Chain A
Amino acid sequence: MDRRAIGNGHLWGLGMTELVRLTDITKVYQGGVTGALNGVSLTVEEGEFTAVMGPSGSGKSTLLNLVAGLDRPSSGSVMVAGADLGRMGEAALARFRRDRVGFVFQFFHLLPNLTALENVLVPAQLRSNTSAESRGRELLKQLGIEEIADRYPAKLSGGQQQRVAIARALINRPTLLLADEPTGALDTRSGDQVMDLLMQLHRQGQTILLVTHDAKLATRYAARVISVLDGRIVDDARLETAERAAVDVIRVRGEETRR
């Protein structure tokens, strides 16, 4: 395992900058244990594609919401891009969310009375950036859905809606892209397309934190897979990304030939 960590070069690699640091996080919910966190520490480097994996109720979404500044921990600290979220007031936190993070949810959360393009532009307008339209169109183009810019969400397929949501998440050039089960409401094909898009963004340098219950999805795209169970990180695996020969991965074997 150590060999892998070193071979992967993430920790000791060149010029990696720490983007997220969670220290001794606990999160207690009144009246229930589901989604709670119990002593979580974690760092994410800039440019990483990390998957946080666990069953429902394990706390993985809670973890993402804390990093996004959507929720506050009961104890412990959350640092993102050098900022201590615990020291921020509500207004500063709202600014942080708007400027620093892009969020993609399972159920898209598009505003039904705005067109696709208008949805994409919402975060830019919150920032009084009125010149964002060309970037919005450019993003829709990059995501392969430029032709639906003026349509309303109800007229879009799930895959198209999720791509609109991704464009919206990217409009303010976030430091960190957070995705919570982004393919959970999509069929396999649209899900693959959405994930391929995230992968493309990652190759362009986007830091991505993906939350999923799906091990296949996690390992297919993320080179680092963090397992969360019962509110704790039980494993943090950095995977080798080099392609292997088939014979080193699967071996179909028969019984020994008998006489």
Chain B
Amino acid sequence: MSLKYGVLGLLAEEPLHGYEVKNRFEAMLGGTWEVNIGQVYTTLQRLERDGLVRPVGARGDRGKLLYELSEPGRKALASWLAQPESGPQELREDIYVKLLLAARVANSDLGPLLSRQKRTYLQRLRDLNQLENRARRDGRFDLARLVRGALLHTEADIKWIDELSETAISGDSE
């Protein structure tokens, strides 16, 4: 997703100026997405140009400008929220390509690579566990849900590595 709907969503609660948008957005995501303030202002300007938000009043204190959601903005947000995510699955991590190349280049002893990768995933799983606990302890159940998603992904990654290790041990019959 782009920042666009994040901004629209926060403005749906109440009018905010750019810096508040940045702070609230980052707080909502518990520090898992750092936003550049310049990016927020650019996004606000673009949304204003498209008629989805509008400034409230004049520039106030130190040139701060409040923005609110317009009716088209509200509609755009609602339809985005109602839409399931589609499109191809994105595998962003290099490991997917690395394994293909390692099999070609390094004469296919993937064992050490798989074992190191698994270690990374186990560490990640431990870190995510801690993060989930911390979120619950702090009463941030929304954030805990986000971490759950990441946890399940990492569990799947580990299963995948295990499967690859098993075929590496028993020999690939394909």
**Interface of A with B (CB < 8 Å)?**
1, 4, 55, 215-216, 218-220, 225, 227, 229-230, 232, 234-235, 237, 239-241, 243-259
Contacts and interface: CB of A to CB of B under 8 A. Distances in A.
B126 A220 contact: yes
Contacts of A243: 130, 134
Contacts, number: 99
Interface of B: 1-4, 6, 29-34, 39, 42-43, 46, 111, 115-116, 118-119, 122-131, 134, 146-147, 150-151, 155, 158, 162, 165-166, 169-170
B116 A252 contact: no
Q: Which of the listed residues B29, B126, B165 has the most CB atoms from chain A within 10 Å of its own CB? A: B126
B122 A237 contact: yes
B146 A229 contact: no
B74 to A, nearest CB: 21
Given A225-B122, A234-B169, A249-B32, 20 more contacts: A1-B116, A216-B151, A216-B155, A219-B126, A219-B129, A227-B162, A229-B166, A237-B119, A243-B130, A246-B30, A249-B127, A250-B146, A251-B32, A252-B146, A254-B1, A254-B3, A257-B3, A257-B43, A258-B2, A259-B46
A259 B45 CA distance: 11
Given A55-B162, A237-B123, A254 B169 contact: no
13 contacts: A215-B158, A216-B129, A219-B129, A225-B122, A229-B162, A229-B166, A247-B31, A248-B127, A249-B124, A249-B127, A250-B128, A250-B150, A256-B2
B146 A239 contact: no
A247 B32 contact: yes
A239 B122 contact: yes
B2 A255 contact: yes
Contact of A249 (B122, B131, B158, B170): B131
B135 to A, nearest CB: 9
Contacts of B116: 1
Contact of A216 (B4, B42, B111, B125): B125
Contacts of B126: 219-220, 239-241
Contacts of A55: 162
Contacts of A255: 1-2
A256 B3 CA distance: 9
A254 B85 CA distance: 13
Contacts of A250: 32, 128, 131, 146-147, 150
